[in-house]
Chains A and B, each alone.
Chain A
């Protein structure tokens, strides 16, 4: 059974990020001949000295013309052990919003550091964003080792420097790998040039890193997405069917579990967990299933089903870290926005901007008057309806929300919920 691993990569063109991905795809044979031919042709036309594997990931015309990555690009490859989804994001400051987008669902982040340049402001920024977005595994690839004579000393120096910074962050799992993306050392195969390095190649790490325990299997959460009622008068088998469809957002549900439905507070037990392939004995994240309850109670989209003895926070005053994603507007105190949290839309008032966080220095600016594009800050929101939530660091599905501009309908903010005040 092949598992799926979602990974995000961050770094700029100069770090060789696209080259690393190109190498990963190329050496694991996920690149097809016609794609490679197109890249070789373009490389020649541009006058590159070698086949520019970066061109594999730069999809839009403007990107190829300018040699930059504009947007998140998704890439896919598989080995017999795992299927990988890469969210490839550009590294420039102005594209923090893309990194946040790509990182939101990732299990693992690869951060690239140029061995000659060491830990830059940008590397720290990427590491901070990865931990803010709750990515459980961080892999620091020290690239261009060929340009520092495969020096163990240099590698150790960078490791020490990065570790010192990572102490300030909430990093669960940090791995360092010395690589040369250009030459392929330690990407798919172990390098013969760095016998002092005892760890595995990057691909080996990606195949082996343990992700099953990253999920929250304790707090059972089921945001109701859609109510299934066949209402077929002629079919007696389904005439009275009423099922609550959704994707499990945490924990494990089993038939017979005592559950509570929020916001009503009514309790019932799970009569069965249905799928199109028949009933199942248990459901866990991220399974899409349909729950049926033993009692006829009023349940609709936006409601939350949880265990009676383990309920999420319920509240209208939300403490959160917000990343602002809009070029044309600011987040300001007093602003009113639409908010989507699990399957529930509501409206939110920005009551308080407590501080803006400098993502390079982690300094808090408490006198900030607003958040502009790519800025991150701590805010207090007041929502028109209660949300049923957990802390983001405990559950990414029930701890996240998006903010949407009510006039333009664009997504302008991404939020990660903190513990409610007083806890």
Chain B
């Protein structure tokens, strides 16, 4: 603290995030926090813990599980949720496939990414969640740049980008009818670099796959995909061992790694600050569907 009463940008972002999370806890009956084990959801859970200290986080944490996980991430998820003393809800994409609500793609490029929407909406419906925290950031993608902090979803979980509620000051309007819900994005104003700087400042633990490690990978569409029994390789895709790290953590089948020597937080921050590719552009096959890939999925109810 200084006599000039200035707040660093990280503290200002933290304060905004905490305010948003407390606002939801105060106004909603059944909030839930989406947690993938990725860095953004880890930071979001960290903010939730800080918001209610010394009390516990007053809502459960939910993982929408494609079943195609990195083992390190699932182990990390279970440990972290236990540490903060929150209840973990796992909504399984496999259950929806087994019950015929979702139909799985086939072929070497098959991914369960899009199927997560069905599972997420079913879980929201079944558990009657009225506010759903997501770790999405506006800097990630251009459809997300237009998203509100409190983002209204209709009975079908759909987002209507042309008909969003005006959002002024920090006066959030979470009013809704039964069956509708609000997606809440406490990290809206954070950039990838802010997230990493905050992780360093707060000494937050991350799954090991964010740091450089040797891994058996193969190249597809300019990305390094993990060699995994969950992905069928195309002809000519040769597996080799490389020093890689992941910039985002999603489903094994659609998350690519980048070649990197960055094994420590400081090295990762230096790399992020100098990189010339967005994290989604570099490593997310799911965003390469079309120019409006994210917009379309968001309209359907995706994260």
Contact B275 A286 (CB under 8 A): no
Residue of B nearest to A56 (CB): B142
Bound CA–CA A301/B277 (angstroms): 44
Q: Does B194 contact A (CB under 8 A)?
A: yes
Binding site secondary structure of chain A: mixed
Contact A105 B1 (CB under 8 A): no
Chain A residues whose CB sits within 8 angstroms of the CB of B55 once the complex forms: 228-232, 238, 241
Q: How many residues of A contact B (CB 8 A)?
A: 80
User: Contact partner of A73 among B145, B167, B169, B191, CB < 8 A?
Assistant: B145
Chain B residues in the interface with A (C-beta under 8 A): 1, 4-9, 11-16, 18-19, 22-23, 25-26, 49-56, 138-139, 142-146, 161-162, 164-171, 173, 175-177, 188-189, 191, 193-194, 275-278, 281-282, 291-292, 295
Chain A residues whose CB sits within 8 angstroms of the CB of B52 once the complex forms: 226, 228, 245
Of residues 98 to 122 in A, which have CB atoms within 8 Å of B's CB atoms? 98, 100-101, 104-105
Given contacts A72-B146, A340-B171, is CB(A286)–CB(B15) below 8 Å?
Answer: yes
Chain A residues whose CB sits within 8 angstroms of the CB of B168 once the complex forms: 100-101, 104-105, 400, 402, 411, 414
Q: Does A61 contact B (CB under 8 A)?
A: yes
Contact B278 A35 (CB under 8 A): yes
Contact A286 B166 (CB under 8 A): no
Can you name 16 A-B residue pairings with CB atoms under 8 Å? A57-B145, A60-B142, A60-B143, A70-B146, A74-B145, A74-B188, A74-B189, A105-B169, A212-B4, A228-B53, A241-B54, A274-B53, A286-B12, A402-B169, A409-B176, A411-B165
Bound CA–CA A316/B161 (angstroms): 36
Contact B291 A42 (CB under 8 A): yes
Q: Does A38 contact B (CB under 8 A)?
A: yes
Contact B5 A414 (CB under 8 A): no
Contact A245 B51 (CB under 8 A): yes
Residue of A nearest to B202 (CB): A277
Bound CA–CA A83/B194 (angstroms): 10
Given contacts A225-B19, A287-B15, is CB(A2)–CB(B8) below 8 Å?
Answer: yes
Given contacts A104-B168, A230-B56, A400-B168, is CB(A409)–CB(B162) below 8 Å?
Answer: no
Chain B residues whose CB sits within 8 angstroms of the CB of A228 once the complex forms: 52-55
Chain A residues whose CB sits within 8 angstroms of the CB of B276 once the complex forms: 32-33
Q: What 9 A-B pairs come out closest when comparing CB atoms?
A: A34-B281, A59-B142, A276-B50, A409-B175, A288-B18, A276-B53, A230-B55, A104-B168, A83-B9
Chain B residues whose CB sits within 8 angstroms of the CB of A56 once the complex forms: 142
Given contacts A104-B168, A401-B171, A414-B166, is CB(A74)–CB(B26) below 8 Å?
Answer: no
Chain A residues whose CB sits within 8 angstroms of the CB of B277 once the complex forms: 32-34
Chain A residues whose CB sits within 8 angstroms of the CB of B143 once the complex forms: 59-60
User: Contact partner of B9 among A2, A229, A287, A290, CB < 8 A?
Assistant: A2
Chain B residues whose CB sits within 8 angstroms of the CB of A301 once the complex forms: 26
Bound CA–CA A32/B247 (angstroms): 15
Contact B26 A70 (CB under 8 A): no
Q: Give the A-B contact count at a CB cut-off of 8 A.
A: 192
Chain B residues whose CB sits within 8 angstroms of the CB of A70 once the complex forms: 146, 161-162
Bound CA–CA A71/B268 (angstroms): 34
Contact A247 B166 (CB under 8 A): no
Chain A residues whose CB sits within 8 angstroms of the CB of B191 once the complex forms: 76, 78, 83
User: Contact partner of B12 among A4, A78, A101, A281, CB < 8 A?
Assistant: A4
Bound CA–CA A64/B295 (angstroms): 13
Q: Does A97 contact B (CB under 8 A)?
A: yes
Bound CA–CA A38/B275 (angstroms): 17
Chain A residues in the interface with B (C-beta under 8 A): 1-4, 32-35, 38, 42, 56-62, 64, 70-76, 78, 82-83, 85, 97-98, 100-101, 104-105, 212, 215, 217, 225-226, 228-232, 237-238, 241, 245-247, 252, 274-277, 280-282, 284, 286-288, 290, 301, 325, 338, 340-341, 343, 396-397, 400-402, 404, 409-411, 414
Bound CA–CA A60/B277 (angstroms): 21
Chain B residues whose CB sits within 8 angstroms of the CB of A1 once the complex forms: 6, 8
Given contacts A57-B145, A61-B291, 8 further A-B pairs with CB under 8 A are: A76-B191, A83-B191, A101-B167, A105-B170, A228-B52, A228-B55, A411-B166, A411-B167
Chain A residues whose CB sits within 8 angstroms of the CB of B18 once the complex forms: 247, 288
Bound CA–CA A247/B20 (angstroms): 10
Bound CA–CA A245/B164 (angstroms): 29
* Residue from A82, A101, A226 whose CB has the most chain B CB atoms within 10 Å: A226
Contact B177 A409 (CB under 8 A): yes
Contact A78 B16 (CB under 8 A): no
Contact A238 B1 (CB under 8 A): no
Residue of B nearest to A104 (CB): B168
Contact B138 A34 (CB under 8 A): no
Bound CA–CA A284/B6 (angstroms): 9
Bound CA–CA A60/B11 (angstroms): 31
Chain B residues whose CB sits within 8 angstroms of the CB of A246 once the complex forms: 19, 22
Given contacts A76-B139, A245-B22, is CB(A284)–CB(B54) below 8 Å?
Answer: no
Contact B19 A62 (CB under 8 A): no
Residue of B nearest to A60 (CB): B161
Contact A276 B26 (CB under 8 A): no
Given contacts A59-B295, A78-B193, A409-B177, is CB(A32)–CB(B275) below 8 Å?
Answer: yes
Chain B residues whose CB sits within 8 angstroms of the CB of A396 once the complex forms: 169
Chain A residues whose CB sits within 8 angstroms of the CB of B53 once the complex forms: 228, 274-276, 290
* Residue from A232, A286, A411 whose CB has the most chain B CB atoms within 10 Å: A411
B167 to chain A, nearest CB (A): 6
Bound CA–CA A274/B50 (angstroms): 11
Bound CA–CA A212/B15 (angstroms): 17
